[in-house]
Structure 1
């Protein structure tokens, strides 16, 4: 009897709590799919650093998005 697979209590807690935190966490930022697409282009090498800088200057919302994504890179 018991659980048929190995799962730690911490793993279970993280799997339940992380989606809930993301669901209730709202800091007022509104990012679009376009921001995600631009970031993916940069991350995949299709966009140069100069292109990224141009997009950041043109769209302040994208600049905020890039700042939030840089935390995941470091």
Structure 2
């Protein structure tokens, strides 16, 4: 199933940017059995878009960087 979910059509360029940042193909987001929970990723992206202030976004980024660092991710910029 490599078709774009209709709810994502307006967000295709954002999806492409996310895929590049994660170094994964866009098709990985569209497969029926992703290696991650796509619903959680979509929820995170939707929540992120609702955070309007820089302080809130910075707090979320810091938490994400810490969690990624505990998982061994080193390129947290």
TM over 0.5: no
| Larger Rg belongs to | 1
Normalised TM-score (structure 1): 0.32
Normalised TM-score (structure 2): 0.31
